[in-house]
Amino acid sequence: MNQLRRDLIFSLSLANLCFLRVWIALVDPSARYSLARPTRKEYVAVMLAVGILGAILFSGLALVRRAQRPLVWWLARCIFAVLLLLPLNAVRIVSLHLAMPTLVDRFGPWVLRGTVAALGLLCAVVIVRWSAAFARMAAIVVVVLSPLAPIVFATGMWRMLHLQPQSGYVGASPLTPQTGRPRVVWLLFDELDERLAFVERPAFLKLPELDRLRAEGLFAANAFPPSHRTVRSLPSLLTGKAVFEAKPSGDAELMITYHGSTQAVPWSVEPNVFARARREGLNTALVGWYIPYCRILKGDLTFCASHLVGSGGEAGGLGSLVLHDFRELVYWFPLGWRLRSAEDRARQRRMHLRMLDDASRAATDPALGLVFIHWCIPHAPFVYSTRDRWAMDGSGDYLGNLLLADRTLGELREAMERAGVWDSTTLLVSSDHGLRATAQDVVPLWGDARQIVDRPGIDPRVPFLVKLAGYKMPVTFNSPLSTVLSCDLVMAVLGGNIATPEDLRRWIDRNRRYEPGMPASAQTQGPIGRHP
């Protein structure tokens, strides 16, 4: 009986630890900052999954005890060792913040591969030579950690009974639209790279929409983003002040620290471009991904659509959610990554199409004075190929996504032309950062890490194009600027202070200043680097 009870506690605790990563996302709101809020079904699913895996482990252990064969015991210990990798992985990612891109960034793929191979070898030796001793010690740890199960179950139960509303967005009351007022559509393509889009674009890649904008408006050849991280760039751009540090606090707040300050402040109460536009009597709209905009900036937006990723199984019923939780376990092993990449691509494509829908609706609505769209492309996963088609089989690459960004721009332009608002709207197109070294949709550790494109170094610049309402005139602006000025620029256009291309050029020249995020050499005048 004692043995049975011990086996039961061990099995349930191990099952619970295997799902630690799923649990953390459900019980810690900060861990779900960039995710959709969980549904009641997701809590039930993980509880069921723990119960099912616990039952499987318990019966398996009983069979092993009955078999009494050394080989069976040895196999059981191997399975135990493999299962232990799951909670260890959860600790690595969630507690130590050592996600794979961070590790690759810090140590390079080969150091990492070597370390993993050495660790694997060490584990293999331990298991082969001292499997019984290892299993005994690890089993003690699992039993010692068993109180964790009732703690996360209770926390999960409490959270399930106190669910927050899905979007958290209430919406600011619509203001009466005024005809004849300037109107701005601000498009931010995530990870749109200046070098590959303009400076050293491969000859075969045609980006007619970006070229057209360049031929009809202002093109800043040396625009620097405030940060190479989305989570810092976006608040910088929207508040108009460079952000040095940004940390989620729960799932509906981002604590930001501006450069030159030591105090973190809640982003939700900081002045932003939308609040300023509303004070000017304009309706505002935002369509975005990755950041829970609607939960944070809700009071300043007449229309808001945050496209956040869910747990992945939210579309199906309870059964598919439980299955999804089990699949989550497979993701951690080499071949599981392929499954995950395929799912990520499918999800990105769905998200992009939904965003295009929302974006077209907002950009063509003349009642909205300021529309901001934070596109999820050309950021990985790479869902498009340079052959101008969806690439759900993994044959896409960054350049393909770049082509998709150009196509998207074209679709939005056509929609705005059909609605008769294209010529009367000022369009700003830019990015939160250029292409980063870690921008790969396959985890580099497991081999399949195609270089996106050969490149000698990273170019921090981002595209910065402004098509001024009513004008079709190319202006190239070569002096360095920080895109942090976008917020004030948008307000100057909305306030009627910039009407002609010359006004625009002069305004930018007067208001560009050295900002953190710009390389030191950017303080000097004149173009930096090669540019066609």
Residues near Zn ion, by CB under 5 A: 190, 230, 432
Minimum distance between the CB of residue 433 and Zn ion, rounded to whole angstroms? 5
Shorter beta-carbon distance to Zn ion: residue 325 or 432: 432
DSSP E strands, 27-169: none
Contact in structure between 464 and 219 (CB atoms under 8 Å): yes
Minimum distance between the CB of residue 376 and Zn ion, rounded to whole angstroms? 9
Name the nearest CA neighbour of 211 among 482, 415, 465, 490: 465
Shorter beta-carbon distance to Zn ion: residue 192 or 494: 192
The 3-class secondary structure across 371-407, one letter per residue, is EEEEEEEECCCCCEECCCEECCCCCCCHHHHHHHHHH
Shorter beta-carbon distance to Zn ion: residue 230 or 364: 230
Minimum distance between the CB of residue 291 and Zn ion, rounded to whole angstroms? 10
Minimum distance between the CB of residue 228 and Zn ion, rounded to whole angstroms? 8
Q: Is 90 helix (H, G, I), strand (E, B) or coil?
A: helix
Minimum distance between the CB of residue 266 and Zn ion, rounded to whole angstroms? 22
Shorter beta-carbon distance to Zn ion: residue 182 or 288: 288
The Cα 189–Cα 429 span in angstroms is: 8
Shorter beta-carbon distance to Zn ion: residue 197 or 492: 197
Minimum distance between the CB of residue 211 and Zn ion, rounded to whole angstroms? 23
| Residues paired with 476 in a beta bridge | 219
Contact in structure between 305 and 323 (CB atoms under 8 Å): no
Shorter beta-carbon distance to Zn ion: residue 84 or 210: 210
The Cα 222–Cα 229 span in angstroms is: 19
CB nearest Zn ion: which residue?
230
Tokens, residue 365: 């609505």
| Residues paired with 284 in a beta bridge | 370
Shorter beta-carbon distance to Zn ion: residue 87 or 517: 517
Contact in structure between 282 and 179 (CB atoms under 8 Å): no
Name the nearest CA neighbour of 217 among 484, 491, 409, 495: 409
Q: How far is CA 297 from CA 117, 262, 268, 302, in A?
A: 46, 23, 6, 10
Shorter beta-carbon distance to Zn ion: residue 77 or 461: 461
Name the nearest CA neighbour of 158 among 52, 26, 50: 26
Minimum distance between the CB of residue 24 and Zn ion, rounded to whole angstroms? 24
Residue carrying structure tokens 């399930």: 160
- DSSP letter, residue 255: E
Tokens, residue 162: 């106190």
Minimum distance between the CB of residue 263 and Zn ion, rounded to whole angstroms? 25
